[in-house]
Chains A and B, each alone.
Chain A
Amino acid sequence: AQTVTQSQPEMSVQEAETVTLSCTYDTSESDYYLFWYKQPPSRQMILVIRQEAYKQQNATENRFSVNFQKAAKSFSLKISDSQLGDAAMYFCAYRSAGSYGKLTFGQGTILTVHP
């Protein structure tokens, strides 16, 4: 079974600064997908960014980018130019490429943004 670990229960950043959230995972599969989801106080789950394991290029979405290290099974999220609206719980998630692909989530990291 796959496991996802987020070792940072809480992180904080100053507005306009950069912060990196860590995620590691354990799997024996070679083909899979990785995601970062944001959950603000409203509790809505919002997809931030996704990465296909077969792609070496790191995904980027505006101020959000990932550092995907397949051999190390690491998938960190970098948020540049942090904004107050980025404050939320962030979940790293794994999805197998095969079958019907349930998501396995990490424990989450609470991100606080200071003005």
Chain B
Amino acid sequence: AAGVIQSPRHLIKEKRETATLKCYPIPRHDTVYWYQQGPGQDPQFLISFYEKMQSDKGSIPDRFSAQQFSDYHSELNMSSLELGDSALYFCASSQRDRPTYGYTFGSGTRLTVV
């Protein structure tokens, strides 16, 4: 079965640089979520999209932005990177009319800011 695809798997950036993370949800999933997981921490919700519109916003810094495109893939753009942005970034997708099925997570993008 198709899974949630995230790219790249690993990314190393310098402070003040910009990073773009991509997410390709499972076909027919209409909702995409982004989470940030710092070392030894639980995942923190950043932002979500339903049918290409932002549906909810969590603790996402103003330096970050995201969007969902017509093909339902989503991109998380991170500017003016800081050392504290180093984390594992998960994308997940789901079908809104099947909430009991939970999410399907991608394998994550490990961002290291040096």
Out of B102, B107, B108, B110, name the residue touching A35 (CB < 8 Å).
B102
Interface pair A95/B43, CB less than 8 Å apart: no
Check if B88 sits within 8 Å of A43, measured CB to CB.
Answer: yes
Let me know if A105 and B31 touch, CB within 8 A: no
Residues of B98-114 at the interface with A, using a CB-CB cut-off of 8 Å, are 99-105, 107-108, 110
Q: Is the CB of A44 within 8 A of B107?
A: yes
Interface residue A97 (Cβ < 8 Å from any Cβ of B) = yes
Instruction: Knowing A44-B107, A44-B108, A99-B56 are in contact, say whether A105-B102 is a contact too (CB < 8 A).
Output: no
Residues of B near A33 (CB, < 8 A) are 99-100, 102
Q: Which residues of A contact B100 (CB under 8 A)?
A: 33, 50, 52
Cβ-closest chain B residue relative to A92: B42
Number of interface residues of A (CB under 8 A): 24
Asked whether, in the complex, the Cβ of B43 is within 8 Å of the Cβ of A105, the reply is: yes
Contacts of B94 in A (CB 8 A): 101
Check A43/B108 contact, CB under 8 A, given A95-B99, A103-B103, A105-B43: yes
Flag if A100 contacts B88 (CB, 8 Å): no
Task: Tell me the smallest distance from the CB of B51 to a CB of chain A, in Å.
Answer: 10
The one of B43, B96, B99 in contact with A45, judged by C-beta atoms closer than 8 angstroms, is: B43
A100 touching B50 by the CB < 8 A rule?
yes
Q: Are B42 and A105 in touch, CB under 8 angstroms?
A: yes
Cβ–Cβ < 8 Å partners of A103 in chain B: 33, 35, 43, 45, 92, 103
Question: Mind listing 11 A-B residue pairs with CB under 8 Å?
Answer: A43-B37, A43-B107, A44-B107, A45-B103, A47-B104, A50-B100, A100-B31, A101-B99, A102-B45, A102-B56, A107-B42
